[in-house]
Structure 1
Amino acid sequence: MLSVETRHAIHPDHARTMGTQELREHFLGTGLFAPGEIRLIYTHYDRFTLGGAVPNGAPLTLDVVDETRTATFLDRREMGIVNIGGTGRVSAAGDAWEMGRGDVLYLGMGAGPVTFEGDGRFYLVSAPAHRACPHRLIKLAEANRVELGEAATSNKRVINQFIHPTVMESCQLVLGYTQLVEGSVWNTMPAHVHDRRMEAYLYWGMTPEARVLHLMGEPTETRHMMIANEEAVISPPWSIHSGAGIGEYTFIWAMAGDNVDYTDMDFVQPADLK
């Protein structure tokens, strides 16, 4: 079963007027991981798409998505897949890849229908592509590891870069995940914006009662949302994206836009946030 929800782009002037429920309706992705279903959110931020696939004992195939008006979803797109569940299997373009928890698979433009099997919980992100790059399965040991932050400021963390120029080739999709060191709670602090790219976060590895206080909005007009496990945030180019969590959590970040330069960002110091 496939379901697709469309999210239109929101101007920052509009976002300033939104209450809690409106913010969640426009920027939060919930219920992405339903047993036996593929659920997608098709956004008008760089035509970025995110979602989840949970085979639940029977194969699931992602093929035609009406919103793209193409023969198959990946005819003019690339895709990143992160397994946040048990061992699973992904098949496409005549190949198959076994994926453990935390593994990342990149599928290039033209891969055709994609089939998901096994005990995996597959997080999917996709962006338009202009050329076909090689498919690749990337294990955590193959990711580029970057350590940032300090224990004194409660933001010591490890950034694992998977779909990234230092690791592999893609068109515009960049993806990785950040793990907080025990005792640290803040991610992406100092905050930043990057007007040339949008971004999406998926928070996972949390206990059912835990929450992340996710900060968004213009630097001088910040807003917040309380995020539960396996919920995603759509972050427009004009918005900061930062947060602090209760207990252990990991977040998957994925970006699409004009470039793949991970360092292309404009920092905003805490003293300048309002």
Structure 2
Amino acid sequence: MMQVRYSTAPTSAETATTADLRENFLVQDLFVAGEVNATYTHEDRMVIGGAVPGTGQLDLPAWTEVLGTESHLEARELGVINVGGAGHVIVDGEKFELQHLDGLFVGRGSDVAFAGAEAAFYFVSAGAHATYPAQQLTHTEVEPLALGSADSANERSLFRYAWGQDLQTSVLQFGVTVIANGSVWNTFPPHLHARRTEVYCYVDLAEDDRVFHFMGEPGSTRHLVVKNREAVISPPWSIHSGAGTGAYAFIWAMAGENNCYTDLSPVAVEDL
């Protein structure tokens, strides 16, 4: 199943009810056993999805009625991260084994299938103007960038899988940030991406833990309460920052006008 979300103006978030905010920006129910589910957002035409193969194999759907193509990646590229147990992704007949938090980039034009009884695959696709080869991104082999500090409760490790360097993509960027034990904040102080949309998918939360995800324009922020394996669409006009009640990680993915990781605008705390 694929849902469709339309673009929104910043003023709509400022005056929205909690139910409105959740309907427009929160993506739920991606991970259902034996299914591939997704949401298409008109924000930079990104697709956010989840595949849980169980004992079978699941093909990446074309969703022709929404995407307008005969195959999902006819004009798109794909980023995949396994948020479950061991599994594999088959790209044009080649098998890529993915453990927990391992990633995979798949270029335009490929056929993709998912398998693994314990696996749960999160994926994001975006429009692509060129074709680049598939590449596995093993979590334990990616050198993390240490950010934040324990004193400010935002110590975290940033694992950059596709970020405009090393791995070539058209527009897609994605990776994982793991919050250190004892820290709660991610991406604080926040920033804006005027030329890109970003999507957060929160993972590895305990059943009773939540992340309070802050969004909106800097001077009129709102928040969403997010549980494990739920995602938030962050439009270019919105900050994206959050604090969790327990240990967690989040998968970030971006698409837009470029794939320059540092193309952002910091937001001063006093402007919040």
> Given the two structures, how large is their TM-score scaled by the length of structure 1?
0.97
Cα distance in 1 for partners of 2:126, 2:143 equals 22
2:24 aligns to what? Answer: 26
- Residue 5 (1) aligns with residue 14 (2): no
- One-letter code aligned to 2:4: T
CA deviation map 1:28-64 (0-9, x unaligned):
0011100000001001011001010000111111132
After superposing the two structures, state which structure 1 stretch, 236-245 or 147-156, moved more: 147-156
Question: How far is the alpha carbon of 1:262 from its aligned partner?
Answer: 1.1
1:166 Cα deviation from its structure 2 partner: 2.9
Q: Judge conservation of contact 1:144–1:166 (CA < 8 Å) in 2.
A: no
Is 1:196 paired with 2:195?
A: yes
CA distance, structure 2, for counterparts of residue 144 and residue 48 of structure 1:
27
Secondary structure in 2 matching 1:152:
coil
> Which secondary structure state, in structure 2, belongs to the residue aligned with residue 15 of structure 1?
helix
Matched, 1:71 2:70: yes
The answer as to whether partners of 1:127 and 1:256 remain within 8 angstroms in 2 is yes
Residues 190-240 of structure 1 deviation map (CA, whole Å, 9 limit, x = unaligned): 100011000000001000100011100000010001110111000000000
Number of aligned residues: 270
Q: Counterparts of 1:248 and 1:167 in 2: how far apart (Å)? A: 30
Alignment deviations for residues 66-92 of structure 1 (CA, whole Å, 9 cap, x no partner): 211111000000000000101111112
Query: Residue in 2 aligned with 1:124?
Result: 123
- For 1:131 and 1:8, how far apart are their aligned partners in 2? 26
Once the two structures are TM-superposed, the CA of residue 16 in structure 1 deviates from its matched residue by 1.5
> Shift of the alpha carbon at 1:270?
1.6
Q: What corresponds to 1:83 in structure 2?
A: 82
Query: Conserved in 2, the CA contact under 8 Å of 1:85 and 1:101?
Result: yes
Query: 2:34 & 2:271 partners in 1: Cα distance?
Result: 46
What's 2:138 paired with?
Answer: 139
- Which of structure 1's runs of 4+ aligned residues deviate more than 6 A? none
What is the rounded CA distance, in whole Å, between the counterparts of 1:247 and 1:15 in structure 2? Answer: 27
Letter in 1 for 2:262: T
Unaligned runs of 5+ in 1: none
Amino acid at match of 2:38: L
2:33 to 27, 35, 51: 35
Residue 47 (str. 1) matches residue 61 (str. 2):
no
Once the two structures are TM-superposed, the CA of residue 144 in structure 1 deviates from its matched residue by: 4.0
CA deviations over 1:108-147 (Å, ceiling 9, x no partner): 00002x1111121000100000010110011013324211
Higher mean displacement: 146-155 or 20-29? 146-155
Inter-partner Cα distance in structure 1 for 2:73 and 2:142: 24
1:17 to 15, 18, 22: 15
Distance 1:186 1:210 in 2: 14
- In the alignment, is the contact (CA less than 8 A) between 1:155 and 1:187 conserved in 2? yes
What TM-score comes out, normalization by structure 2 length?
0.97
Moved more, 94-103 or 73-82: 94-103
Residues 103 and 179 of structure 1: is their aligned pair in 2 closer, same or farther, counting only changes over 3 Å?
A: same
Task: Give the share of equivalent positions with the same residue, in percent.
Answer: 44
Gap runs ≥5 in structure 2: none
Q: Which amino acid aligns with 2:43?
A: Y
3-state secondary structure, aligned to 1:81 = strand
Equivalent AA in structure 2 for residue 65 of structure 1: W
For 2:16 and 2:103, the matched residues in 1 are separated by 35
- Look up the SS of the partner of 1:151 in the other structure: coil
Name the Cα RMSD after superposition.
0.9
